[in-house]
A and B are shown apart, each in its own frame.
Chain A
């Protein structure tokens, strides 16, 4: 299943939630849609799953309008909520039948899928007694039930506690081999764990479409991470004036020192430190930013 999003724009009164957004998701890919709160992720996901209409642009699945392809889509909302008076099993029967699966088939498949999401022991309990994590898992079961070739998930783990989060992430890991997945999150670590490709959104616009490796290589700049005793912090101010030092960022006792040519100059810096009789706790050469920092920089600065 190939998903094409073409120039989608959606306005709410004066606010533009999604602004001329385009992307293509190839068959079998797992794409993480990342952005800060209010970036328009949920709106975009709702447009993709045909809950909202776009003001402009269109969403095509295999070249066909998404509204004609509902059978092929599995949708997991941010806070899946079902009819409280239904049991887990009834919920899956209800949603399954609405997706056009016959009752006979569901009798076979529902217990299997409930086992997969770990709700088989709660199958006859009412949804109103379920915790957030259980509802999320039931939501995933519902998403997978009709074997869609394309799954859209809106913040599948953001609202969960660490245990629930782990359970759901493992589930997604399992299913990602069989289907195309698009999921949104504002937590980079989650996307990093599941997806190979990231699309970063800010104020309704796509600001980056990349893979995790590219993201790191592009932003990789070797720096010297330096940790020294607090009594010697004055020296940090001095090295900033050295000709081969580009700049120094000081956070607490740790300094991040950017050099003109790290390979060449790191030893000069070390020698300088030794000559000045500095109490060195740590001296390390590494990449300048964690993924989190790269993400923050993009979202805040662009």
Chain B
């Protein structure tokens, strides 16, 4: 049994014990359901709350395309509340091990830093990816039920692109958690930076190419237009480079033992 396997298994057991395995998928399923349901019932909600103050709603104006609704699930649910939830659930990923001395302890055993980081990322990414996919799937089912059908292939392509952005979110939070020691600081820096990436996406083609949040943009575009943007591969490559950089930097930081407070 390799250290990588043992450390990965330990992460899964921890998720079970801390009930993360229940609440995180539930939160994403809830987020996934919100967008289609709220959009569908929006005319009724407005009608009920607006009263008869002279507001009339033209039902044809609010009738949205299913692809747009599921794209909005990614863009306005997962990319806002979703990012915050991922960051908050992951902010202690390294920080807690530093704080209680387990990182030191584990590294006094014949364990490579790579195995430690690998175990953390493998377990947490697979778990978050499954949570996000579950939420996405719930959204897909609701959209198919309340709006119109979305082509299966586009649905799959979109989530694959989106998961690359999720991997970046995880690796970025991982790096911040490695460098800083306070949970609040880690959450603040991660959330602010990731939201800034998100805000800048779609502003300018060159910025988009370098921006990891561009992957989220591409996922939405695949859903809405049904075709793949020509910048996708460049953006995907650069996002993967960013991911490699954050992981390499974390590896450097831990193996050079720069995480000690003094």
Contact = CB atoms under 8 A, between A and B. Distances in A.
A179 to B, nearest CB: 16
Given A77-B104, A94-B6, A103 B109 contact: no
B18 A77 contact: no
Contact of A82 (B6, B18, B102, B260): B102
Interface string A79-119: 11111010000000011011110110000000000000000
A51 B107 contact: yes
Interface in A54-80: 70-71, 73, 75, 77, 79-80
Interface in B109-124: 109-111
A81 B256 CA distance: 23
Contacts of B108: 49-51, 70, 73, 75
Nearest to A71: B110
Nearest to B3: A98
B1 A103 contact: yes
A85 B262 CA distance: 28
B258 to A, nearest CB: 10
A77 to B, nearest CB: 6
Contacts of A99: 109-110
A100 B102 contact: no
A70 to B, nearest CB: 4
A79 B99 CA distance: 12
Interface residues of B, number: 23
B231 interface: no
B107 A12 contact: no
Interface in A164-223: none
Contact of A52 (B101, B111, B260): B260
A142 B260 CA distance: 23
Contacts of B6: 94, 97-98
A234 interface: no
Contact of A85 (B7, B18, B257): B18
B12 to A, nearest CB: 12
Interface string B222-233: 000000000000
Interface in B214-262: 256-257, 260, 262
Given A51-B257, A94-B6, A83 B110 contact: no
Contacts of A70: 108-110
B260 A95 contact: no
Nearest to A15: B262
A100 B18 contact: no
Interface string B127-145: 0000000000000000000
15 contacts: A12-B262, A49-B108, A51-B107, A51-B108, A70-B108, A71-B110, A73-B108, A80-B105, A83-B10, A83-B102, A95-B105, A95-B109, A97-B3, A98-B6, A98-B110
Given A13-B262, A46-B104, A99-B109, 14 more contacts: A51-B108, A51-B257, A52-B257, A70-B109, A73-B108, A77-B104, A77-B105, A80-B101, A81-B101, A94-B6, A97-B6, A98-B6, A98-B106, A98-B111
